[in-house]
Amino acid sequence: MLAKNFVKDRLQFIKEGKSKNIPAEYVRLKHELAVKWDYIMSPPFRNFEQMMLSNGNNIPATDYLLCYSLLENDLENFVNALLASRYNIKNLPKHYQEAVMVYLSNTENPNPKIREAVIDNGIKQRYAQFATIVNNAGENAYRLAKQNFANTYWTYYAFENPMSKNFSLKNSQQ
């Protein structure tokens, strides 16, 4: 609807091969550079997943897959990939532990295998503090969380990710 004039101009070019706004030479040169066959590109998640599954020792691909899932706030795929990887869930990096905490506290039926993950007691205590701030501080929650938990996955998940809207921690005592 907002691009009506743009579309009308392009349709004129497609039908007549000319347009008042698009020089024919420009389009001819673009056609020479264009791909000559159709193909479908997989989303990054699928590419990283294939690399991880094809070679379990490909730790960079595994980390890209896990981090991509975290950036997308896709904790279900994060947990599935983490469990399928060769990561030792009893010795996970800090941000992966933080993500597992969010997953466990916000998923109705979490994957039972992820409950075997060892979460550092300090991370559990800080998560409880974070949850208290988020649930009780109202409009000041982001400011307080940013002050005290700036370098955590929780702050990104709850406030800084564009997909985060009206976030609240349901069950923070997991």
CA distance 145 to 107: 22
The CA distance from 173 to 31, in Å, is 59
Q: Over pLDDT 90: what percentage of the chain? A: 32
Q: How far apart are CA 42 and CA 58, in angstroms?
A: 19
Q: Which amino acid is at 150?
A: A
Per-residue pLDDT reduced to its tens digit, 65-92: 888 889 888 899 899 989 988 889 999 9
pTM (predicted TM-score): 0.67
Per-residue confidence band for 115, with pLDDT thresholds at 50, 70 and 90: very high
How far apart CA 75 and CA 10 sit, in angstroms, is 42
Range of the domain at 144: 44-160
Q: Domain for residue 23, yes or no?
A: no
Decide if pLDDT at 39 tops 50: no
Q: Give how many domains the chain has, as a whole number.
A: 1
Contact 81, 52 (CB under 8 A): yes
Q: Is residue 7 part of a domain?
A: no
Residue type, position 151, single letter: N
Give burial (CB, 10 Å; 0-12/13-18/19+) of 33.
Answer: exposed
Q: Under a CB-based contact definition with an 8 Å cutoff, are residues 50 and 65 in contact?
A: no
From first CA to last CA, the distance across the chain in angstroms is 48
Q: Tell me the average pLDDT across 125-147.
A: 90
Residue 156 in any domain: the answer is yes
100 close to 119: Cβ distance less than 8 angstroms: yes
* 169 located within any domain: no
User: 55 phi and psi, to 5 degrees?
Assistant: -150, 100
